[in-house]
Amino acid sequence: MALKRASAEAALNPLETALAQFDAAAERLRLDDGMRGILRAAKRELSVHFPVQMDDGSTRMFSGYRVQHNLARGPAKGGIRYHPAVTLDEVRALAMWMTWKSAVVNIPYGGAKGGVVVDPRSLSVTELENLTRRYATEISIVIGSNEDIPAPDMGTDGRVMAWIMDTISMHRGHTVAGVVTGKPVSIGGTLGRLEATGRGILFVIGEVARQHKIQVEGATVAVQGFGNVGSVAAILLAKEGAKVIAVSDSTGGVYNQQGLDMGTLSKRGWPGGRLDTAPGGDRISNEELLSLPVDFLVPAAMEGQIGAANAAGVRARFVVEGANGPVTPEADAVLAGNGITVVPDILANAGGVIVSYFEWVQDLQFFFWEEDEVNERLKRVIGRAYRDVARTAQEENVSMREAAMLLAVGRVVEATRVRGIYP
Q: Of 19 and 355, which CB lies nearer to ligand NAD in the complex structure?
A: 355
Residue span binding ligand NAD (CB under 6 A) among the ranges 14-22, 36-44, 163-171, 246-254: 246-254
Q: Which of 224, 291, 341, 392 binds ligand NAD (CB under 6 A)?
A: 224
For ligand NAD, the binding residue among 286, 291, 362, 375 (CB under 6 A) is 286
Catalytic residue among 43, 113, 183, 379: 113
Amino acid sitting at position 142: V
Q: Residue 405 in contact with residue 100, Cβ under 8 Å?
A: yes
Q: Which of 227, 280, 307, 329 binds ligand NAD (CB under 6 A)?
A: 227
Residue 121 backbone phi and psi in degrees, to 5 = -70, -15
Binder to ligand NAD among 70, 102, 190, 228 (CB under 6 A)?
Answer: 228
Is 225 a residue that touches ligand NAD (CB under 6 A)? yes
Nearest position to ligand NAD, beta carbon: 227
Cα separations (Å) of 8 from 23, 51, 302, 311, 321?
18, 36, 18, 16, 21
* 249 binding ligand NAD? (CB under 6 A): yes
- Chain centre distance of CA 219: 25
List 185, 302, 308, 415, residue binding ligand NAD (CB under 6 A): 302
State the alpha helices, DSSP H only, in 212-306.
Answer: 228-239, 262-267, 286-290
Closest CA to 103 of 418, 417, 413: 413
Q: Does 197 help bind ligand NAD (rule: CB under 6 A)? A: yes
The nearer residue to ligand NAD, 197 or 220, going by C-beta atoms, is 197
The Cβ of residue 376 has, within 10 Å, a number of other Cβ atoms equal to: 13
Task: Find the shortest distance in angstroms from Cβ 217 to ligand NAD.
Answer: 25
Shortest CB 277 distance to ligand NAD, Å: 13
Residue environment code for 41-74, b if the CB has 16+ CB neighbours within 10 A, otherwise e:
ebbbbbebebebeeeeeeeeebbbbbbbbbbbbb
Alpha carbons 332 and 311: distance in angstroms, whole number: 8
Question: Rounded distance, CA 221 to CA 316, Å?
Answer: 9
Beta partners for residue 269, in sequence order = none
Cβ proximity to ligand NAD: between 178 and 326 the closer is: 326
Ramachandran angles phi, psi of 236, nearest 5°: -70, -40
145, 248, 341, 392: residue in contact with ligand NAD (rule CB under 6 A)? 248
Question: How many residues bind to ligand NAD according to rule CB under 6 A?
Answer: 20
Q: Are 71 and 77 in contact (CB under 8 A)?
A: no
Q: Does 105 sit near ligand NAD (CB under 6 A)?
A: no
DSSP 8-state secondary structure symbol assigned to residue 280: S
First-to-last alpha carbon distance for the chain, in angstroms, is 46
* Catalytic site includes residue 113: yes
Burial of 2 (0-12, 13-18, 19+ CB in 10 A): exposed
Strands 44-53 and 59-70: antiparallel
Closer residue to ligand NAD in complex, CB, 181/341? 181
Buried b (16+ CB within 10 A) or exposed e, 160-197: bbbbbbbbbeeeeeebbbbbbbbbeeebbbbbbbbbbb
Q: Between 248 and 392, whose beta carbon lies closer to ligand NAD? A: 248
Alpha helices in 62-157 (DSSP H): 88-104, 125-139
Interface with ligand NAD includes 310 (CB under 6 A)?
no
Span interacting with ligand NAD, options 10-18, 111-119, 243-251, 410-418, rule CB under 6 A: 243-251
The interface region with ligand NAD, picked from 42-50, 168-176, 222-230, 409-417 by CB under 6 A, is: 222-230
Site track 266-285 with ligand NAD (rule: CB under 6 A), x = hit:
--------------------
Stretch 315-374 residues interacting with ligand NAD (CB under 6 A): 322-324, 349, 352
Closest CB 193 distance from ligand NAD, rounded Å: 8
Specify the residue, 188 or 200, whose C-beta has the smaller distance to ligand NAD. 200
Residues sharing a CB contact under 8 Å with residue 339, sequence separation 6 or more, in sequence order: none
Task: Choose the stretch contacting ligand NAD; rule: CB under 6 A; options: 26-34, 136-144, 226-234, 383-391.
Answer: 226-234
Q: Which stretch binds ligand NAD (CB under 6 A): 90-98, 165-173, 276-284, 296-304?
A: 296-304
Which lies closer to ligand NAD via its Cβ, residue 247 or residue 407? 247
Residue among 15 and 398 whose Cβ is closer to ligand NAD: 15
State the catalytic residues.
113
Q: Which residues bind ligand NAD (CB under 6 A)?
A: 197, 224-230, 248-250, 286, 300-302, 322-324, 349, 352
